A and B are shown apart, each in its own frame.
Chain A
Amino acid sequence: MTGQDLLAETVERLLNATPPGEDPWVDLAAGGFAWVSVPESAGGSGGDLRDAASVLRVAGRHATSAPIAETMLGGRLLAGAGLKVSGGSLAVVPGPGLAVVDGRLTGSAVVAWAAEADQVLAVVDLDGSPVLAAARPEQLGIERRLNMADEPRDDVRFDVALSELVTAPLPDGAADDLQRDGCLTRVVLAAGALQAISEMTIDYTSQRRQFGRPIATFQAVQHHLVAVAQSAVRASMAAETAVRTVQGGGGAWEVAAARVIVDEATIEGTRAAHQAHGAMGVTREYGLQRYTRLLWAWRHEYRQAREWRRWLGSEVASSGADALWPRITR
């Protein structure tokens, strides 16, 4: 058993023990799981990206609503800037959109879990170099909004003097790295959720009886089972391979490819799972919608798949015909 397996099992146990309706963040934070992959020297829990991914994957498998991914991303940003993490959750401005004008950081962005965060972090460009700017929520204009899965995705307006924020320089390429790592969190979460809906669909269709037999014995329903299982399998393979590559250094190509695969898997997998569940799946009484709503919401975060696909395709085109095969099999 690897360290990642042990970690996943621990988080699995913790989430299983969390009563429905109760906020899982408290226990996740107490166990330090939201700071996995943040160096201990920066106040984190240590471990690498594979460890972080194993936590996120289980969180996705449980449709866990908590700012784990954001806190991990934010923690790594703070550590990269030589700062330390506090004990609270973090929020991260996911992309460009903020600018420093006359010493003031201005602009607006949709930010996950901003209102309850200890700090809202942004990577800003200062004279061509990336700088981390850390604000307290009360320094910002925050309007609560929710994504389709009822997770906080706040409208955040920045209009604050940079001198009032904690700032520190980041390594070159930090903005691109945040795009890549943020996208990777959604890919891993989605892989976990797709695995869950595959299992749910298998279980449900083996119990639900129509025409005197379990609906899983009908060929037409079996085809949905296979479609959702394939979606889960492709997404998992893509996510895990991308995580390994990023851990080894670089990996933007693989993250883009994983995003493309997970997006296709989300479309096919959620459609097949819902079709196999019939009317049961479209009620709030039943758990399927917790997963599918999250999957649909995540598709649009950290730039949607179309942009990653185009970037990947442009890379493939500019690298030329002879480079494609070595790249696929690298």
Chain B
Amino acid sequence: MHFEVTELGAVERALQAEVRQFLTEELPRGSFVPGLGMNAAKDPAFSAKLGRRGWLGMTLPEEYGGHRRSMVERLVVTEELLRWGAPVGHHWVADRQSGPIIARYGTEEQKRRFLPPICRGILSFSIGMSEPDSGSDLASLATRAVRDGNGWLLNGRKVWTTGAAVNDWMIVLCRTTPVEEGGDKRSGLSQLMVELSADGVVATPIPFIDGTADFCDVMLEDVYVPDEQVLGTIGAGWTQNTSELAFERGGPDRWLSTYLVVEEYLRGLERGPVPHEVADLLGAAAANYWVLHHLTLSIARAVDEGRSPSIEASLVKEMGTRFEQDVLSGIQALIDLEPGLPARSMFERLLVTATLTAPSFTIRGGTNEILRSVASKGLAPSGGSR
């Protein structure tokens, strides 16, 4: 395990300033309802604007509409978007993981078909992993595909699938070889790209704890998936999916979800010296944001240098998501208002949403218990001297 200290270079700083200016002009504070990190609203027009600026699919090859920029540059952009509460919902999954996984495992034809619209911010993706009986134990999933002509016939059910009722595509992890034939349960899995408007796909919103309806239940009934929509190799789905999870885990979306609650709390403070307990909370929050920013930057730099810091990403996601909750608890303990709706301030609105959705931070993208197991496997005895 290795975290090298790194700093932003001149080009990266310039990009940061450019994104800040863009957000101030395009989304002035007060002109929109900011979201909480990656839970922010879907706004296809905004995603398209980002696409035109070259800030989607940044790390993808130029021949497919990408920009061949670094992971650090992508981090600079995503940090600014999340910290602003920008409506990133439409492109978030496609930009973060579907695009990169298609770029890595897709056929030439798939790359030409999917990557350019992902980079333009016009194609949205859902993650077809969890099932009613397969959450943390993902390899036990029951959705299966059987051979049918020049394709596959898919049956099963995915659940807790964000955006499936409105998104365009879903990458479905499913079983293509029964466990009895494949040996262990991690083999015989495959990733299929399913058009969410296809026959046999029925996505129904599951009301979320805060009353929103992005979470979905997806029934897959005799959905025909042609061979050209198989992602990568049949049977290699587990490995491919694991590398997709690495894209999902190491970013600033794992510690910025409640940042705006802190910022708005700060905005509401009266001028002048603050009480000790307020200073204590703000000091601890600032210190943690600072170190998480540097840890995330270090992970992105490591990827750019050709390493694959998946253990590091798990470690940081586990502590980042706990911090998102801790800092919220700290704010809750300081305030005198009784949070309610309709909100009387931006702070109250964000606080209510954050309070209701916070339990999901340490669950989505791999529960903290699973992340600790993943991370601990990378903590091998060093044999080093001491």
Contacts and interface: CB of A to CB of B under 8 A. Distances in A.
B274 interface: yes
Contacts of B382: 199, 202-203
Contact of A229 (B7, B279, B293, B379): B379
Interface stretch (A31-39, A86-94, A231-239): A231-239
Interface in B57-90: 79, 83
A206 B266 contact: no
B291 A321 contact: no
Interface string A237-257: 110110010000000001011
A236 B280 contact: no
Interface in A255-277: 256-258, 260-261, 264
Interface in A8-52: 12, 16
Given A199-B382, A230-B319, A313 B291 contact: no
Contacts of A296: none
Contacts of A257: 286-287, 290-291
B319 A327 contact: no
Interface residues of A, number: 52
Nearest to A200: B386
Secondary structure class of chain A's binding surface, majority of residues? helix
B202 interface: no
Given A16-B385, A200-B386, A261-B288, A241 B283 contact: no
A309 interface: yes
Contacts of B315: 226, 229-230, 233
B318 interface: yes
A133 interface: no
B372 A223 contact: yes
Given A226-B372, A257-B287, A329 B16 contact: yes
Contact of A310 (B16, B79, B280): B280
Max chain B C-beta neighbours (<10 A), residue from A196, A287, A320: A320
Contact of A313 (B16, B278, B375, B376): B278
Contact of A234 (B83, B282, B295): B295
Nearest to B267: A321
A254 B290 CA distance: 9
Interface in A202-218: 202-203, 206, 216
A156 B282 CA distance: 36
A199 B287 contact: no
Contacts of B380: 202, 206
Max chain B C-beta neighbours (<10 A), residue from A240, A313, A320, A324: A313
Nearest to B274: A317
Contact of A314 (B3, B264, B273): B273
Contacts of A314: 273-274, 279, 282-283
Interface in B276-301: 276, 278-291, 293-295, 298
A229 B298 contact: no
A317 B278 contact: yes
Nearest to A326: B20
B381 interface: yes
A297 interface: no
A327 B385 CA distance: 38
A158 interface: no
Nearest to A223: B372
A321 B376 contact: no
Interface string A306-330: 1011111110110011001101110
A180 interface: no
Contact of A329 (B1, B273, B293, B369): B293
A313 B279 contact: yes
Interface in A265-313: 287, 306, 308-313
A266 B376 CA distance: 20
Given A62-B386, A256-B287, A321-B264, A309 B274 contact: no
A260 B289 CA distance: 12
Contact of A324 (B263, B276, B280, B294): B263
Given A199-B382, A257-B290, A317-B266, A222 B283 contact: no
Contacts of A260: 283-284, 287-288
Interface string B259-277: 1001110110100011010
Contacts of A55: none
Contact of B291 (A61, A200, A237, A317): A237
Contacts of B276: 310
B298 A310 contact: no
B384 interface: yes
A309 B266 contact: no
A219 interface: yes
23 contacts: A198-B379, A202-B379, A202-B380, A203-B382, A206-B380, A219-B373, A223-B369, A226-B315, A226-B376, A229-B315, A236-B3, A237-B3, A237-B5, A241-B290, A256-B283, A256-B287, A309-B279, A317-B273, A317-B274, A317-B279, A324-B289, A325-B259, A329-B79
Given A202-B379, A312-B279, 14 more contacts: A196-B386, A203-B382, A206-B381, A223-B372, A225-B379, A226-B375, A229-B375, A241-B290, A257-B286, A257-B290, A310-B279, A313-B278, A313-B286, A324-B263
Interface of B: 1, 3, 5, 7, 16, 79, 83, 259, 262-264, 266-267, 269, 273-274, 276, 278-291, 293-295, 298, 312, 315, 318-319, 369, 372-373, 375-376, 379-382, 384-386
Interface of A: 12, 16, 61-62, 196, 198-200, 202-203, 206, 216, 219, 222-223, 225-226, 229-230, 233-234, 236-238, 240-241, 244, 254, 256-258, 260-261, 264, 287, 306, 308-314, 316-317, 320-321, 324-325, 327-329
